[in-house]
């Protein structure tokens, strides 16, 4: 099995969010980038599969700021290979929908038979990556996946989660695409020497063989939603707030033992 994991960096929004001049994006000059949380789970699941059945894992990212370091970290965590994919200069980050043809072409070229990526990213308002990829590649896919079990080598059984604590096992033949929600085990971060070793590795940069496809949608305004929505703020230090909360609970008869 050759697993391709697609990783994306997203803005790490701190306390104060600055909207860029023009009002259509966050001010990216000052924000830090971090690995998309669910992509992190996808990577962990790939490494987990490698450990239990001996898969080859290739991590890929669309090239940009911070990408080399993230891929080096992926190698340190257990990925076998990593690639940065160079696309023509575009303004700002490339949406999941727009990167779909590029990523699909990479999956075909690398000969991957399982593509894992995060179920969602905080910016994917024009479409999520996994189902889009499945549609472009013509491969079966599932999102909200919380565990992947290899069967006999030609199929996998995934656990797909719904609401209300309900989930289902779905069997998919390879090749397939999965939008991972949670890895089968908590994420293992690497330390010290392994990381330092990986930081010395140069990550090959390959040219995209398909064009970015941006459908005709645009953000006309980006804003911070109205805060507080009517919540009463409890002020003061911890003691004052604790007093206030106890009063609230007592008033509503929520302190009695039931």
Ligand X SMILES: Cc1cc2nc3c(=O)[nH]c(=O)nc-3n(C[C@H](O)[C@H](O)[C@H](O)COP(=O)(O)OP(=O)(O)OC[C@H]3O[C@@H](n4cnc5c(N)ncnc54)[C@H](O)[C@@H]3O)c2cc1C
Considering only 11, 67, 103, 144, the residue that binds ligand X (CB under 6 A) is 144
Q: What burial class does residue 196 get, using C-beta atoms within 10 Å of its C-beta: 0-12 exposed, 13-18 middle, 19+ buried? A: exposed
Quickly list H helices, 25-128: 37-53, 67-77, 96-110
Residue numbers 44-73 binding other proteins by CB under 8 A: none
Stretch that binds other proteins, among 1-9, 74-82, 169-177, 189-197 (CB under 8 A): 169-177
Residue numbers 15-44 binding other proteins by CB under 8 A: 15-17, 26, 41
Regarding 119 and contact with ligand X (CB under 6 A), the answer is yes
Provide the 3-class DSSP secondary structure of residue 92.
coil
Tokens in use for 208?
């995209």
Regarding 120 and contact with ligand X (CB under 6 A), the answer is yes
Regarding 11 and contact with ligand X (CB under 6 A), the answer is no
Minimum CB distance to other proteins, residue 51 (Å): 18
Question: Applying CB under 8 A, what is the total number of residues that bind other proteins?
Answer: 86
Residue numbers 188-247 binding other proteins by CB under 8 A: 215-229, 231-234, 237-239, 241-247
53 binds, among other proteins, ligand X, none (CB under 5 to 8 A by kind): none
Minimum CB distance to ligand X, residue 34 (Å): 11
Nearer to other proteins, 4 or 136 (CB): 136
Regarding 158 and contact with ligand X (CB under 6 A), the answer is no
Provide the 3-class DSSP secondary structure of residue 163.
coil
Whole-angstrom distance, CA of residue 11 vs CA of residue 242: 35
Regarding 124 and contact with other proteins (CB under 8 A), the answer is yes
123 binds, among other proteins, ligand X, none (CB under 5 to 8 A by kind): other proteins
Minimum CB distance to ligand X, residue 124 (Å): 10
Nearer to ligand X, 58 or 160 (CB): 160
Q: Is the dihedral of CA 85, 90, 96, 100 positive or negative?
A: negative
200 binds, among other proteins, ligand X, none (CB under 5 to 8 A by kind): none
Regarding 79 and contact with other proteins (CB under 8 A), the answer is no
Whole-angstrom distance, CA of residue 83 vs CA of residue 85: 6
Nearer to other proteins, 150 or 167 (CB): 167
Cα-based distances in Å from 138 to 83, 96, 130, 171? 23, 17, 12, 16
Across the strands, what pairs with 207?
86
> Long-range pairs for 86-94 at CB < 8 Å and ≥24 separation?
86/205, 86/206, 86/207, 86/208, 87/62, 87/63, 87/208, 87/212, 88/208, 88/211, 88/212, 90/212, 92/25, 92/28, 93/28, 93/64, 93/123, 94/62, 94/212
169 binds, among ligand X, other proteins, none (CB under 5 to 8 A by kind): other proteins
Positions touching ligand X (CB under 6 A) are 119-120, 144, 181
């Amino acid at each position: 099995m050759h697993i391709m994991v697609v990783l994306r960096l997203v803005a790490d929004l701190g306390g104060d969010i600055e909207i860029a001049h023009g009002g259509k994006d966050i001010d990216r000059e000052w924000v830090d980038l971090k690995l998309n949380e669910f992509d992190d789970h996808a990577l962990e699941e790939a490494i987990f599969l490698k450990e239990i059945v001996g898969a080859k894992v290739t991590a890929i990212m669309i090239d940009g700021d911070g990408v080399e370091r993230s891929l080096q970290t992926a190698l340190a965590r257990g990925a076998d290979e990593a690639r940065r994919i160079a696309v023509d200069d575009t303004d700002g980050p490339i949406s999941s929908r727009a990167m779909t043809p590029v990523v699909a072409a990479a999956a075909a070229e690398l000969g991957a038979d399982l593509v894992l990526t995060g179920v969602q990213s905080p910016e994917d308002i024009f479409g999520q990556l996994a189902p889009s990829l499945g549609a472009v590649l013509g491969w079966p896919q599932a999102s909200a996946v919380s565990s992947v079990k290899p069967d006999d080598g030609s199929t996998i059984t995934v656990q797909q989660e719904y609401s209300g604590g309900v989930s289902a096992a779905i069997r998919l033949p390879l090749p397939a695409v999965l939008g991972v929600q949670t890895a089968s085990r908590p994420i293992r971060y690497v330390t010290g020497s392994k990381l330092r070793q990986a930081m010395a590795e140069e990550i090959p940069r390959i040219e995209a063989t398909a064009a970015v496809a941006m459908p005709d949608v645009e953000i006309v305004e980006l804003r911070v939603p109205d805060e507080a929505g009517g919540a009463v703020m409890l002020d003061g230090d911890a003691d004052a707030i604790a007093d206030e909360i106890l009063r609230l609970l007592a008033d509503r008869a929520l302190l009695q033992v039931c």
